[in-house]
Amino acid sequence: MAQVTVVEGPLERALRRVARPFFSLSELERDLVLYAASGLFALVVSFTSALALYREWGAMAVSGYAFGALASAWLWWFVRHRRVGDRSQLLARCTVAAVVFTSVLAVPLAVEISWRTETPNPYLHVQPEVTVIEHAGQAVANAQDPYRVVKVTGAPARDAAHPLYEQFFPYLPLMAAFGYASSTHAPAPITDARLTFLLVTMVVLAAALTLFRGGDAERFRIGQVLLVLPLGALPLVTGGDDLPVVALLLLGLVLTQRRQLLPAGITFGVAAAMKFTAWPIALLALAFCDASGRRGARRPMAIGFGAVLIPIVLPYAIMNPVAFLQNVVLYPLGLTGVPSPAQTPFFGHLVVSLLPHLHRVYAVAIAVVGVVLIGRSLRRRPPRTAGSVATFAAWCAVFIVAVAPSTRVGYLLYPLDFALWGSMLTAVDTRSLLSSALEDPNREFGRLDGNP
């Protein structure tokens, strides 16, 4: 008899314990809960958000989520009283999701872009990061450096017409590609960087779901979370620069699980060349993700990662190191004297707001504490599979979002998405292990996480 040992770490067990009530529901019941909770969230946002852009999205999205909840409730009742096949149920759920997607993302995005091009103050209908990325894309299109030294001594921290923070480009160079369309002579509505964010996200997500080894229900849930629920819809309507990064990380994890390590490394390299938020998963996968234990097995991933990241990032870092450091490192940490618009009152932001003279000390202390805690955890139980990498990165992202000096509630999409992928990728590994055991009952299998 085969001995199959499926091992979950403490992080995976804690996550599964928290999510157990939700996962005990049927798929249609989960849809009902998710759409109802999303509708309530949109309603609250429409009345309470400090940003007019968010309130507008909430007002437009409420009806779409209400339709999704009512349609899911009707489908649940219909399935309980009629014999309906799994494929028919999935088709019905996809139809409902498509209608919700149209009403909470496609239509609000079209409306906001139209308002941006027609109103005297376009800043009311777009998040600052979109404008920043478009300016960077225009600079690159004109063979200019998107990074420049911003002199803040004696300058106002914020000007109503041209906020000082918009002079910073706090991303890595490849993010400027999303703003390239704004440098063309195409009609203004189709050059909005949010359209590029959405298009790239959908294309990369389609590739990831095609390669994903899970079932159709799992594919549907990933797509629903990334494009239909507020976790994806709200950022894509208002800003959206995080969503292509998130989609690329999912594709990289799927390729890693399929042992296609060179393409996985290239994918992680593309994401890492856009934004530092991609680095935790990319570096964890590069350093630990190899359940086989073979020496040099991760080398193709490292080659692919470096082949993309180094030629894109290094020239800008060498060409103007002072500007690069100020834009990419110091400004996101709040060390330039210019407040970031990302000011959600989590623990880190509250600390530096109440004790501004300790800002630098706090940033250094948190960095040291984070490195020590994460290092100890990695030494005790390194993540060896794509699922465990995603789960570990989810906990790291929660820590970073909570203690960072400048953060926003939208950054929670990283830990929530990572946690979802960790659960699903681990489930795929578990099924694969059990299936192999049934095919070869005389074979002894080791631990799922790759540890001896």
| Mean local confidence (pLDDT), 171-190 | 90
With bands split at pLDDT 50, 70 and 90, how would you rate the model's confidence at 159?
Answer: very low
Tokens representing 204 are 């990369």
Residue 301 falls in which region: left (phi positive, over 0), alpha (psi -120 to 50) or beta = alpha
Closest by Cα among 204, 216, 239, 225 to 100:
225
Instruction: Determine, yes or no, domain membership for 448.
Output: no
Question: According to the model, what pLDDT value does residue 450 have?
Answer: 46
Contact 81, 37 (CB under 8 A): no
| Mean local confidence (pLDDT), 16-39 | 82
Residue 115 falls in which region: left (phi positive, over 0), alpha (psi -120 to 50) or beta = alpha
For the chain, percent of residues with pLDDT exceeding 90: 46
Instruction: Determine, yes or no, domain membership for 452.
Output: no
Cα 451 to chain centroid distance, Å, stands at 28
Question: According to the model, what pLDDT value does residue 17 have?
Answer: 65
Question: According to the model, what pLDDT value does residue 303 have?
Answer: 94
State pTM to two decimals. Answer: 0.88
Buried b / exposed e over 116-125, threshold 16 CB at 10 Å, is: beeeeebbeb
What distances in angstroms separate CA 246 from CA 3, 139, 234, 285, 314, one per listed residue? 36, 25, 15, 15, 23
DSSP character for 329?
A: I
Residues 6+ apart with CB under 8 A from 115: 124, 125
Residue 2 has pLDDT above 70, yes or no: no
Q: Which residue has the higher pLDDT, 400 or 70?
A: 70
Instruction: Determine, yes or no, domain membership for 450.
Output: no
With bands split at pLDDT 50, 70 and 90, how would you rate the model's confidence at 381?
Answer: confident
Length of the chain: 452
With bands split at pLDDT 50, 70 and 90, how would you rate the model's confidence at 298?
Answer: confident
Amino acid at 280: P
Q: What is the pLDDT of residues 235-265, one digit of tens each?
A: 999 998 999 999 999 999 999 999 899 999 9
Cα 8 to chain centroid distance, Å, stands at 24
CA atoms within 13 A on the CB side of 203: 6
With bands split at pLDDT 50, 70 and 90, how would you rate the model's confidence at 307?
Answer: very high
Contact 451, 382 (CB under 8 A): yes
Using CA atoms, how far apart are residues 304 and 360, in angstroms rounded to an integer? 36
272-275-279-282 Cα dihedral, nearest 10 degrees: -40
Residues 6+ apart with CB under 8 A from 449: 7, 9, 291, 381, 383, 384, 385, 388
Q: Please tell me the least confidently modeled range out of 26-35, 66-75, 117-126.
A: 117-126
Using CA atoms, how far apart are residues 359 and 24, in angstroms rounded to an integer? 44
Residue 403 has pLDDT above 90, yes or no: no
Q: What is the pLDDT of residues 196-230, one digit of tens each?
A: 999 999 999 999 999 998 889 999 999 999 999 99
Tell me phi and psi for residue 22, to 5 degrees: -70, -45
Instruction: Determine, yes or no, domain membership for 451.
Output: no
Residue 338 has pLDDT above 90, yes or no: no
Please state the domain count of the chain: 1
Using CA atoms, how far apart are residues 2 and 434, in angstroms rounded to an integer? 10
Closest by Cα among 232, 241, 252, 108 to 178:
241
Residue 314 has pLDDT above 80, yes or no: yes
Q: What is the pLDDT of residues 113-136, one digit of tens each?
A: 999 988 777 778 889 899 999 999
| Mean local confidence (pLDDT), 345-367 | 71
Instruction: Determine, yes or no, domain membership for 242.
Output: yes
**Widest CA span of the chain, in angstroms?**
76
Question: According to the model, what pLDDT value does residue 365 have?
Answer: 80
Closest by Cα among 182, 200, 188 to 137:
182
Residue 8 has pLDDT above 60, yes or no: no
Instruction: Determine, yes or no, domain membership for 43.
Output: yes
Residue 16 has pLDDT above 80, yes or no: no
Using CA atoms, how far apart are residues 336 and 244, in angstroms rounded to an integer? 28
Question: According to the model, what pLDDT value does residue 156 have?
Answer: 45
Residue 274 has pLDDT above 70, yes or no: yes
367-373-375-380 Cα dihedral, nearest 10 degrees: -170
Contact 221, 93 (CB under 8 A): no
With bands split at pLDDT 50, 70 and 90, how would you rate the model's confidence at 325?
Answer: very high
Residue 400 has pLDDT above 90, yes or no: no
Question: According to the model, what pLDDT value does residue 302 have?
Answer: 92
Instruction: Determine, yes or no, domain membership for 417.
Output: yes
Range of the domain at 64: 10-439
CA atoms within 13 A on the CB side of 80: 10
Residue 192 has pLDDT above 50, yes or no: yes
DSSP character for 5?
A: B
> What's the whole-number average pLDDT of the chain?
84
Instruction: Determine, yes or no, domain membership for 4.
Output: no
